[in-house]
Structure 1
């Protein structure tokens, strides 16, 4: 396996009349219990979004429900909470990272009890953006009420919107199932006990390519590959969003780009652009896609897989097909799930 390989993903979702991620009380509402959706201002325009944390929650749940991941138990103490911090046993600790600040008592050679710092942290190999509307959106407040009881109904307001939303993510393939054990902030992934347990279960020590004097602990390739494939494949079945009872939406990708690169920068961030007098419309920028294919051609490892769902941006289907023909040595184009599966097949070769 080559060093420094990254999965780079870009996707679009298409939702109608939703409130995917709320921000609490709407101070602009006429209702005492009005709820605002999350939004942000850019260049004077309003864009709705789903926080990166919320999207990670959906992703983790998809892995638990559809790929039988046993999630790391959450421990709560006073006002803090942390997972088990065991990436050997729990794949979500490996992929999503953790921080567990703790200490234990030990007896020194003089018989005195001392506290030993056993804090462990892991920077997540999986980075993702917020999922933000690709064009300006004006949420509307919808009036609702609880009216099944006797007497006056109880009114409340909630903001809703329709939008094409974009997101991106990056997965560091070298970090998956690979752990450092350095006594340095951010690098103490495993306790000494967990390191020993990992080696007993088939993990091996490898050289750290960035520090020749140190060793990393790496799980068997079969385990690392399965965790990677599950993480990418889960996008086909991802479910989530607030107020799904009355505002159900499909948040699986309707357009996706997947590629492996030898660098960390994400090349596909501006493939969807807004236009119109008020930036209220979205289009695929095929010329921008061609540009990043050309400009980063040396950085792609294997092919770029582009998936599009029928019924979504159908006016661009022919141009995307022509793009695939023009760059047939490096681009594959087809339905979303088929392209996710095809990319996963490529990953099997790249992670050997």
Structure 2
């Protein structure tokens, strides 16, 4: 096994998952333009943070994830630290430069698939000033929106729990933890998708960002091809594109898990038919994630 590819869709309630720069009295939503139309997005950095915090919340008593220091630097000890192993780091060393580790876990931005203007509103909140005799404060406008987001994760399985070393003019990986521990760490990334909660502003904008539709592929070749399986427009998936990419990915993916909640897609029945035709059973996202973790547990890395 060389890679695990995951792509999913998540439908949100009215929320602001990741703010842009905004102004003093505006909390905006990060946006990008496509064909002159604005769509919201959540940065890859924010998505990595949400996944990290989901892992942190469910650590065992003897498991360790460091907290970066006041300079934002992690411990840089991937053998004992799950976060430094999975998500990499850059730790400065005085008079020497930096000790770096490339992240085995790659995370895409969450791309909104519905136009922002058609699915948004402006709310406001008040910020009271302390120490004043009167109940004075500022009114801050907050952009909120409902949307369907597409997100992707790629796990470079071979690099989890190991470091690249050059020997005999070849790059080889030396592992500092055993295979069982490597599996446990990888499974934490997959399991985290069931428990994503620590996004911004949730004290007053409670929403759920866990998958409504998910595809998880265990691959003998490291590839990001699966990320192109989902093309969404007007509430429907592009059926031809989905089938073409699935057949490509199946050539080097011994196992693929699929989960779908009813009511997300307008052409849901056609989507289910495509998966059936390529030999994939559709379950709920939660069950697909659980079965993927169990498959990993019983597989050879």
TM-score by length of 2: 0.88
Question: Are the structure 2 counterparts of residues 100 and 181 from structure 1 closer, same or farther at C-alpha, using a change threshold of 3 Å?
Answer: farther
Query: 1:168 — aligned with what?
Result: 152
Q: Say which of 80, 83, 103 aligns to 1:92.
A: 83
| Counterpart for residue 194 of structure 2 | 236
Q: CA separation in 1, counterparts of 2:72 and 2:247? A: 46
Correspondence for 2:15: 18
Structure 2 residue corresponding to 1:142, chosen from 118, 123, 130: 123
Does structure 1 retain, via aligned residues, the 8 Å contact 2:39–2:114?
yes
Matched, 1:309 2:268: no
Please state whether the residue corresponding to 1:318 is helix, strand or coil: helix
Q: Deviation per CA, 1:305-335: give whole Å up to 9, x if none.
A: 110123433x44433443343222xx23100
Structure showing greater Rg: 1
Distance 1:221 1:318 in 2: 40
Listed one character per residue, the Cα deviations across residues 226-257 of structure 1 (whole Å, up to 9, x for unaligned) are 10111111110111322212211101111111
| 1:55 match: secondary structure | helix
The one-character-per-residue Cα deviations of 1:201-246 (angstroms, maximum 9, x if unpaired) are xxxxxx89x816x662342011101101111111101113222122
User: How far apart are 1:264 and its partner, in Å?
Assistant: 3.4
Aligned residue number for residue 70 of structure 1: 64
Contact 1:304–1:332 (8 Å) recurs in 2: no
The equivalent position to 2:222 in structure 1, one of 264, 274, 283, is: 264
1:274-294: CA deviations, max 9, x gaps? 44xxxxx33222321111122
| Residue among 44, 53, 59 paired with 1:52 | 44
Distance across 2 between alignment mates of 1:324 and 1:83: 42
Are residue 247 (structure 1) and residue 213 (structure 2) matched?
A: no
What is the Cα deviation at residue 65 of structure 1?
0.6
Alignment of 1:1-352 (within 5 A): 2=1, 5-26=2-23, 32-68=24-60, 69-76=63-70, 80-103=71-94, 117=96, 119-138=98-117, 139-146=120-127, 150-151=134-135, 154-181=138-165, 211=170, 216-275=174-233, 281-300=234-253, 302-313=254-265, 315-328=266-279, 331-352=280-301
The structure-2 alpha-carbon separation of the partners of 1:21 and 1:229, relative to structure 1 and needing over 3 Å to count, comes to same
Alignment length (residue pairs): 294
- Aligned match of 1:203: none
Partners of 1:135 and 1:274 within 8 A in 2: no
Mark the runs of 5 or more structure 2 residues left unpaired by the alignment: none
C-alpha contact (below 8 Å) 2:214/2:260 kept by paired residues: yes
The 8 Å contact of residues 229 and 246 in structure 2, kept in 1 or not, is answered as no
- Contact 1:268–1:289 (CA under 8 A) maintained in structure 2: no
Q: Distance in 2 between matches of 1:283 and 1:250?
A: 21
Q: CA RMSD in A?
A: 2.5
In the alignment, the residues of structure 1 paired with residue 128 and residue 52 of structure 2 have an alpha-carbon distance, to the nearest angstrom, of 36
